[in-house]
Amino acid sequence: MKLDYNRIDPELREGATEELALRVDRAGLNALREALAAAPSAVAEPPVITRRHEVEAEGGKTTVFLYRKSDRPDQPCLLWFHGGGYILGDADDNRAKQLAFDLDITVVSVDYRLAPEHPFPAGLEDAWNTLLWLHGEGDRLGINPDCLAIGGTSAGAGLAAGLALKVRDAQGPRLKLQLLLYPMIDNLHATESGQIDNHPVWNQATSFAAWEMYLGGEPGEAASCYAAAARADDLSRLPPAHICVGTEDLFYDEDVDYARRLNAAGVPCELAVFPGLYHAGDVFHPQAGVSQRLMASVKLALSQALGVAGN
């Protein structure tokens, strides 16, 4: 199946071609990482306070960046995971900084270990250890440990969804919200949108290659629900969720179905669908109307869940 590029929002259409899709394989992964790291940001960085911390756990150290607008005490906190298909990216994340600045909250961005060097469950372990550290050290960090949310984009949102399941099963800290921006949660892509093979940025072939590296083998039904949240049989007793996805995203159908299943399981889930938005199209065109509406929905969901007034 093919995507009709005329369905893409007109403000996002420039440069949105099949050639925009990332080409992912083990041999070229390091070169791709270097190229993405060198690419200029599409937006200016907000003036946030940045502090680096090392979270020590049995498996080693995890670097995290703490972003905040001010040093007022007892701040609500968002534990944030960057995107990149579980194989790309780092915690120096501009969206994390923007949310910290706009909402005057603390955002802790996790430099979790990436596949294929560190396949699942390494990244999840980093996420879990950081959450426990935040909850235990909240007072020292100026954070309200009883006002925590988790979230991320793409693979980072998938990591947040898996973490929410682990927190429930391990009876971890109470979470106010799981904020999932076009989450990468389904390693099978057995949906109508998942069968389209020419999406810009993140297409089917790219996604299957990333899943193979993250899971350390071929995708399949046996994947852990902590790695691919869509594999979970039971979605009850999870924290409230806010899910954003575009209609022209490879993940569209699986994300919509996950929201449906959360609501059916009694978990309040707000689903925000953006017509004409392809995967990460808001990153390439942050000033487009659809991108602004996505960010407005994200900030509103966070501000209501954490009890803050955003800009």
What's the pLDDT tens digit per position in 125-148?
A: 999 999 999 999 999 999 999 999
d(CA 77, CA 106): 5
What is the reported pLDDT for 39? 85
Crossing angle (nearest 10°) for helices 155-169 and 122-141: 80
Q: What is the DSSP string of 241-256?
A: EEEEEEEESTTHHHHH
Mean pLDDT, rounded, for 204-220: 90
At 11-52, the pLDDT tens digits run 999 989 888 899 999 999 999 999 998 888 777 889 999 999
At 250-265, the pLDDT tens digits run 999 999 999 999 999 9
Write out the two tokens for 211: 């899943």
Number of alpha helices (DSSP H) and beta strands (DSSP E) in the chain? 8, 8
Query: Residue 13: inside a domain, yes or no?
Result: yes
Q: Which of 148, 48, 149, 143 is nearest to 101 (CA)?
A: 48
CA atoms within a 13 Å half-sphere pointing along the CA-CB vector of 167: 26
Q: What is the DSSP letter of 153?
A: E
At 27-36, the pLDDT tens digits run 999 999 999 9
d(CA 104, CA 45): 15
Query: Residue 311: inside a domain, yes or no?
Result: no
Query: Is residue 207 within 8 Å of 195, Cβ to Cβ?
Result: no
CATH code of the domain containing 160 = 3.40.50.1820
At 235-291, the pLDDT tens digits run 999 999 999 999 999 999 999 999 999 999 999 999 999 999 999 999 999 999 999
Query: Residue 131: inside a domain, yes or no?
Result: yes
Query: Interior CA angle at 104 toward 101 and 105, to 5°?
Result: 105
Chain-centroid distance, C-alpha 181:
6
Query: Residue 40: inside a domain, yes or no?
Result: yes
pTM of the model: 0.97
Query: Residue 113: inside a domain, yes or no?
Result: yes
* Phi and psi angles of residue 279, each rounded to the nearest 5 degrees, phi first: -60, 120
Which range marks the domain in which residue 191 is found?
5-306
Query: Residue 137: inside a domain, yes or no?
Result: yes
How many domains are there within the chain? 1
Percent of the chain scoring above 70 in pLDDT: 99
Q: Which residues are catalytically annotated?
A: 154, 249, 279
Burial of 237 (0-12, 13-18, 19+ CB in 10 A): exposed
Kindly state the helix (H) or strand (E) to which residue 53 belongs, with its residue range: strand 49-57
Let me know how long the chain is.
311
Crossing angle (nearest 10°) for helices 94-103 and 289-306: 60
Higher pLDDT, 42 or 214: 214
